[in-house]
Amino acid sequence: MTQIMQFISDNLLLIYLLIFTVILGFEVISKVPTVLHTPLMSGANAISGVIIIGAIILIRRSAPDDIFSLALGTVAIALGMINVVGGFAVTDRMLEMFKKKKKS
Amino acid sequence: MIIQNTLVDIAYLIGAVSFVWGLRLLGSPDTARKGNTYAAFGMGLGILAVLLDPRIDGGGNYAWIGGGMVVGSLIGWLSAKKIQMTAMPQMVSIFNGLGGACAAILSIVELTTQDLDTGGMAISLFALLIGAIAFTGSMLAYLKLDGKLKDSQVTWPKHSIINQVLLLITIGFFIYLIVVGHTTGLLIGFLVLSLFYGWSFVAPIGGADMPVVISLLNSFTGISAAAAGLIYGSNFMLVGGILVGASGTILTVLMCQAMNRSLFNVLIGGFAASGGAAGADGDQVAKSTNAIDSAILLNYSSSVMFVPGYGLAVAQAQKALKELDDLLESNGVDVKYAIHPVAGRMPGHMNVLLAEADVPYPKLLDLDEANAAIPSTDVVVIVGANDVVNPAAIDDPSSSIYGMPVLNVWEAKHVIVMKRSMSTGYAGIQNQLFFHERTKMFFGDAKDSIQKLTAEVKNL
């Protein structure tokens, strides 16, 4: 019990951040027209590529001779980057069409 | 150095706010594209910040980072540009799977090279589990959506029970690793189990439910990214990951609502089990029609409504359909399109395909608008859609799609169904609409049929 209490008081700001972000995530999406579900999913998917930040941290702090970490980290960066660049690019391609038909 | 620290932190902050703002703008048609750009900008800022952050010490190893980034960007960019719009849901699924794989790899490195306390180990194992599930699940979703694997090929008898047992074993293993500690062997075992569970989890989920699963797996990737954010002490990753986790969950629920099904129902694969309600199709005969008769019917109607489905997307027939539309419009026929919420493979997928063919926005009717307009419509032409126009959803409580909102096309004066054959739709059930007195079947490939029809209308 004391451990849990200790954990909560140590990480209070983190807990605030977590809860508020969850609420924000719910609120931001809840009134979206069906038409936009696919682009939205695709855009959110691109944002989940934020994992790339972790891969960069991993490589930056690894020793130059730690080939195991470097090799796996580089693969992780490449995969994450595909998710990020591909995700945003494909979302933009979808939304470009919405734009065009709006004008016509 | 203090100033540089602060600048990096501010960059992270702006990046995180850009995510939130971008997602918000993505929710409205007018601002969606801008929203995507904002989110991309936020990501770029975050990446720049982590590259320059002076607090990370170590080898630097910028050559490795640069190599990975260039290769990844190139592959991502090219595949996003090259992919056919029809295959877009598959693409999103692959991208999502790779994000999951990235999280799983990071966790493995973390677990094998770092000396973690119990909390750190639990979070790393959690990120490994969720990331691995998102990876294999998304890959299977891709294979299914792309038609490379059929539901029946990957579903085992009593699959939902197998899945529940697997889930329990996985959770048990997870707790064991946290309490007892891990060796490399056990870790590999856990990875394999997680990967296998991801596959098995998606296997029984069929057809029309695929977008729901992709959305759910998307939120998984977000959660694993958030967990990784905890490992690396990055608030930026935490915010981005949680945002996707939360919004992905809501989106999943919204999609389920559009089909009038619960998430639980989707996950245990409700569609697969149905034996198909009293479809006495053996005795019934569907009337078929040909291009000339259909052309006359369409040309002398005052209003026509197209109901596009996945068959249209597969046949790449959207441009051919637009051509027919133009021709009919120039002959004074009022042409509209009825878009069911789950037409195509994902909500909104059909809108994108038709937009690609330059169909103007006001011509697209959503479910309620279309159903209101159908009784006064002369001809409804169904192009490669099936389950979304199945009357069983309204009048047959024993049907697996009972309760799903459908387009009441049988209320129109005439119905023409363009289809390859009498086979069942994605949900695998027979459609009584084909035997309806007002329905005529026009067999053939969607694009081919539409082009024949266009040619006949021109000849009139």
The domains of chain A are located at 1-31, 34-104
pLDDT of res. B281: 43
Task: Give the A:B interface size as CB pairs under 8 Å.
Answer: 378
The sign one gets for the Cα dihedral A64, A66, A70, A73 is negative
Nearest residue to B91 via CA among B130, B139, B147, B153:
B139
Q: Tell me what pLDDT residue B316 has.
A: 80
Alpha-carbon span B394 to B45, nearest angstrom: 51
Residue in chain A lying closest to B92 (CA): A42
* Cα atoms in the 13 Å half-sphere on the side-chain side of B65: 21
- Residue B453 CA to residue B442 CA, distance in Å, equals 10
In three state form, how does the secondary structure of B291-318 look?
HHHHHHHHHCCCEEEEEECHHHHHCCCH
The nearest alpha carbon in chain A to B98 belongs to: A79
- Find where tokens 């969607």 sit: B446
Domain regions of chain B by residue span? 1-82, 87-273, 291-459
| A24 interface with B at CB cutoff 8 Å | yes
> Does pLDDT of A100 surpass 60?
no
pLDDT of amino acid B152:
76
What digits encode the pLDDT tens for the residues A53-90? 999 999 999 988 889 999 999 999 999 999 999 999 99
What per-residue confidence (pLDDT) applies to B155? 79
Which residue from B39, B66, B48 is spatially nearest to B8, judged by alpha carbons?
Answer: B48
CA nearest A75 in B: which residue? B68
Which pLDDT belongs to residue B425? 65
Q: Which of B43, B58, B352 sits opposite A50 (nearest CB)?
A: B43
Q: Output the pLDDT for position B140.
A: 94
pLDDT for res B293:
83
Residues of A in contact with B188 (CB under 8 A): none
Residue window 35-64, chain A: list those with CB within 8 Å of chain B. 35-64
Residue A6, classified by CB atoms within 10 Å of its CB into exposed (0-12), middle (13-18) or buried (19+), is exposed
Task: Indicate the pTM of the whole model.
Answer: 0.78
Residues of B with catalytic annotation? 387
Dihedral of the alpha carbons of B26, B358, B367, B211, in degrees to the nearest 10:
-50
Percentage of chain A modeled with pLDDT above 90: 48
Tens digit of pLDDT at every position of chain B (460 positions) = 688 899 999 999 999 999 999 999 998 888 889 999 999 999 999 999 999 998 888 777 899 999 999 999 999 999 999 988 778 888 999 999 999 999 999 999 999 988 888 888 999 999 999 999 999 999 999 998 888 887 777 878 888 888 889 999 999 999 999 888 888 899 999 999 999 999 999 988 876 678 888 999 999 999 999 999 999 989 999 999 999 999 889 888 888 877 767 787 777 754 444 433 333 344 567 788 888 888 888 888 889 999 998 778 877 888 888 989 998 888 888 999 998 877 776 777 788 888 888 888 788 888 888 888 899 898 999 988 888 888 888 888 777 777 788 888 888 888 998 887 777 666 667 788 888 888 888 888 888 888 888 888 888 7
ipTM: 0.91
Residue B65: its pLDDT value, please? 94
Q: How far apart are CA B450 and CA B291, in angstroms?
A: 9
What CATH code would you report for B291-459?
Answer: 3.40.50.1220
Phi and psi for B431 in degrees, rounded to 5?
-115, 115
